[in-house]
Each structure stands twice: as C-alpha cells, then as structure tokens.
Amino acid sequence: MPLRAKRPAVAVEACQGARSLPVRGVRAGLSFEQQDWVAEEVPVALEFNGVSHAVMLATPLDLEDFALGFSLTEGLLQGAEQLYSVEIEASELGITLHCEIASEAFARLKERRRSMAGRTGCGLCGTESLAQVARELPPLQAGHPLSRGAIARAMAQLNEQQALQQVTGAVHAAAWCTTRGEVQWLREDVGRHNALDKLIGALVRDRVDVRQGFIAITSRASFEMVQKAAFAGVPLLAAVSAPTSFAVATAELAGMTLVGFAREQDLVVYCHVERLALQDEQNPSHAN
C-alpha cells in the first residue's frame, strides 16, 4: 500500500526529521512556488565496541531507541542491560552510533561474523545465511483479549499522531497501543523496520509490559516486522496493509495474532484469531 499523501502545505516554523526545500509544481491546473518539507534520510552506521556492523538509511530521530531496538531484535543483545552507552557522532557522510556493549554480547557478535566469513566460498554459506534469517523465537504469552473496535481506534489515532508524516508524506510509523486501542508510544522513520526498532527500543527502555497491548504499523507486515515484534514479546501485530506468506507462517509458529488490512472497522486475521472478538461492539449479533 503506498504511503498516504501528506496534507496541504501549512506554515510550520520547524519540523524535526524534515528539511525545508524550495519546490515548483502544478496543482489544480495552477502553477506554484513554495517551500516544502521533505523527510530526512541519512546513512546511520552502527558500531559495537569499535567494530562496524551495519549501515542503515534512517530518519535521524530517536537514534538511541533505534540502537537499542535494532540490537535486541537482531539478536545482538539478550537484554537492555547489555547496552552500556550510545554515542552519536554526526559527520558530512552521515551519523555513526558508537555502541558500547557487554563483553559476552560482543563475543557472540564476533563469533557470528567469524562464522559467516568462514563459510564464504565453501558452498555452505547459503545454509548459514538461512539460519541467520529464521532465528528461534521466544514463546509468546497469551495476552489480553482484544476487540475489533480497539484495533480500529488504534489505527485512527496512529494516523492522527504521525506528526512527521503529516508534514512530509514520506514516513512510516509504529505504535504500541493499550488493549482499548489507545496509542501510548509512537515512532516514525522513512524505513518501516527502523520505525519498529525505534518503538521497541523505547518500550524496552521504559520497561513497558508489552503483553498488555499490541503494536500497530502503517506498512505491510513482512517477515522481519513479525519477527521483530515477536522478539519483543508482543502478542498481536496489526498492519494497515497485507502480510506475506512468510510473515503469516512466522506469526503462526510464534503464537502471534497477525492482522492485516486494518482500516476503519475492517480487518483480516491471518492466524491466532482467538485473541480477537470480531463481532461489532455496537451490534453483537452482527459479525464481520
């Protein structure tokens, strides 16, 4: 599903995560010139104990949350306590996140790198790569039962609270919502995976019991999105767009309820429907 178009240009003095640029165009047959807000996208390098690990293209907001969430959902850390510090260094080339992590976590990271390098050219690297993709997921708790109305409320609030999206029209969002559908934490980024990593980092840092709610996202539900949410312990993931077959299989195996096409009062449940009451709250006799 394409990103929703941004709202018409309004007077905004400053917008974090966006840059004001001069543009020209035609709207309703009339030409115009104006300043327009464009979402920032910069290379963000993650270093662990001085060793470069990955470079992501991201919106330069909530980067400490991003470092923690990425490290956890990629299996580099086993807990937030293993991340000692994050130093943010900006340069002309981009941003580097210097992460200081526990020695045992760094030892696992080095072993993973040695293992991958050692397989190169031996004909077995495909097996190693597949093993790294589909990692073992922790068992999910049952979680609290949810209503269809709660998901509808969450998706409506998600749309309303995307400040950067409303100005630029170019970013995704991930939000953690209560069982009643109230958005409590929200993070935005040009990349859907980055937005989810930022959200998970914030939830872990603030010690939120994620079993008491669910995550809503503005993108499709890919395998990686399901895997990251499962690693965080979230019992339900609701997406505005479709899932993939690998995502459904992963959610089924993890015990996660996966919802797609969550728009207004409509939704599609792909697995573990037992967590959801699909009947209309206003008319219990009518089921969608």
The arithmetic mean of pLDDT across residues 129-156, rounded, is: 82
Mean pLDDT over 65-77 rounds to 96
pLDDT of 65 > 50? The answer is yes
| pLDDT tens per residue across span 184-239 | 999 999 999 999 999 999 999 999 999 999 999 999 999 999 999 999 999 999 99
Name the burial class of residue 219, with classes exposed (0-12), middle (13-18) and buried (19+) by CB atoms within 10 angstroms of its CB.
buried
The pLDDT assigned to 17 comes to: 96
> Is 88 a residue whose pLDDT tops 60?
yes
Backbone φ and ψ of 41, nearest 5°: -140, 115
> pLDDT digits over 245-266, tens only?
999 999 999 999 999 999 999 9
pLDDT at 129: 54
CA-based torsion, 138, 139, 144, 148: positive or negative: positive
Residue 139 — very low, low, confident or very high, per pLDDT cuts 50/70/90?
A: confident
C-beta separation of 132 from 156 below 8 A: no
Residues 83, 99 contacting (CB under 8 angstroms):
yes
**Residue 122: active-site member:** yes
- Residues 172-192: tens digit of each pLDDT: 999 999 999 999 999 999 999
**Residue where the block lists tokens 């470092």:** 67
| Confidence check: pLDDT of 121 > 80 | no
CB 153, CB 182: distance < 8 Å: yes
pTM of the model: 0.88
pLDDT digits (tens, 9 = 90+) for 160-171: 999 999 999 999
pLDDT over 70 for what percent of the chain? Answer: 85
From CA 4, how far away is CA 166, in angstroms rounded?
A: 9
Q: What is the mean pLDDT of residues 5-10?
A: 52
Using CA atoms, how far residue 15 sits from 7, 10, 241, in Å, is: 14, 12, 27
78-104 average pLDDT score:
97
Domains and CATH numbers, the chain: 42-122 (3.10.20.10), 146-277 (3.40.140.10)
Which residue spans within the chain are E strands per DSSP? 18-27, 30-39, 42-48, 51-58, 83-90, 95-101, 146-147, 172-178, 183-189, 213-217, 236-239, 257-263, 266-271, 276-277
Query: Is a pLDDT exceeding 50 seen at residue 116?
Result: yes
Residue-averaged pLDDT of the chain:
89
Active-site residue among 15, 99, 122, 125?
A: 122
pLDDT at position 123 is 42
Tell which residue, 86, 133, 151, has the closest CA to residue 228: 133
